[in-house]
Structure 1
């Protein structure tokens, strides 16, 4: 796969829409491409926000205006010169990136709040869906908060993580990109660093290298966030040396 093709996969990667071989190639590419790394994280955040989008039927006036305009817009014939000129003007990579963004928007609206994965232990499927939707709304609320502050750090193996904190909401979101899958029976666990005391803050999906996680619990007086590798199901206290420690964003 050519490098210019890899640059166009940021949107699909953020939506977990790549085949396994494409995902592996793109994650390898992420280790050396800061622009794709930033764009993938931005798409992941945008996906969470767009997941809250609601549809609304247009009023009769707007519908009539659109139908009238359709009759006045000239359709470009297949293979027409206008399309060919546009292809020559727009660089291939940039055009594909815009297509990826459009696909990201469309898919996010269709997926709704289910784009965000987190462990749920509710027994009833309806209860699980309601709780997942609530988490998605809270996650998007943090990302869209006027006072949201973020900090991006490099992690092991070329991965990266972005911590987003809203002081007003007293909540935090962790956005991961390109993280290696943990060993079987293990899971990444997030922690709040309360001045040296580590407080559990949720688990990450072991099967996804890129994801958005609403951290469990209030930020409160935490001064940082840590990540450890724990047994499946998590631990009450860290059992391994943190693979990452980061300060709260200012």
Structure 2
């Protein structure tokens, strides 16, 4: 792949449509190509806006439907190969299985209560996550679409680029990053608001994702910049490592 080909991959990289080989080659190219770095940052922010513009909030009644179906839909029993056997053989097999039927039913009845509880808890967790994701998507969309939204971009090192979008009317900021190297094992990237040299936690990035859009936690009031540090899994109350990047917030 030559340099001319790499210049054409900004759009595909922004929407995570490159193979691992192409992505690695393009990220090496970004480290020495300022025009592609700027264009990638802009396209990444634009793709995030377009995706959020068509996002759909789950129906309010979805939770009740899921919980109701859990108790009524049975899992289909796997069928054995060669089920089409002769009648005498099938009858003998049914007689053999019937000896265990009562014991199996008793065991199933005892276990069903635990399974139902487990399914209910998993459904509740999934619904909570979906509800939180929908709320975050709405907040991100509100920031990106705000009339007073302002953005600033910068290179973060190792070929990564970051864009921060701020809406003073929403009092929120969104961070869009592409080409981010994974953090060390057992570590995570943590975002911070810089308030005159005092760092205030703004949430965690998802480890292992090179491109992502993050709604920064907390308000932007009083902050003039933002930073990223590498922290233990779960984050820290204050930075424990030198910043990976520092960026001013757009005015």
User: One fold, TM greater than 0.5?
Assistant: yes
Report deviation, 1:155: 1.9
Residue 12 of structure 1: SS of its match in structure 2? helix
Question: TM-score when scaled to structure 1?
Answer: 0.67
Aligned residue number for residue 40 of structure 1 = 40
The answer to whether structure 1 residue 192 and structure 2 residue 193 are counterparts is yes
Residue 220 of structure 2: SS of its match in structure 1? coil
Question: TM-score when scaled to structure 2?
Answer: 0.67
Residue 158 of structure 2: SS of its match in structure 1? helix
Runs of 4+ aligned residues of structure 1 deviating over 4 Å after TM superposition are none
Residue 23 of structure 1: SS of its match in structure 2? helix
Aligned residue number for residue 235 of structure 1 = 236
Matches within 5 A, 1:102-121: none
Residue 194 of structure 2: SS of its match in structure 1? strand
* Structure 1, unaligned runs of 5 or more: 56-121
Report deviation, 1:189: 0.6
Greater displacement, 168-177 / 36-45: 36-45
Residue 41 of structure 1: SS of its match in structure 2? helix
Give the Cα separation in 2 of the matches to 1:54 and 1:187: 27
**Number of residue equivalences:** 184
Aligned residue number for residue 183 of structure 2 = 182
Aligned residue number for residue 216 of structure 2 = 215
CA-based RMSD: 2.1
Q: Considering only CA atoms, is the larger Rg found in Structure 1 or Structure 2?
A: 2
Give the Cα separation in 2 of the matches to 1:31 and 1:123: 44
Q: 1:150-194: per-residue Cα shift (whole Å, max 9, x none)?
A: 222222223222221111110001122322222111111100112
- Is the Cα contact below 8 Å between 1:37 and 1:177 reproduced in 2? no
Report deviation, 1:54: 6.8
Aligned residue number for residue 119 of structure 1 = none
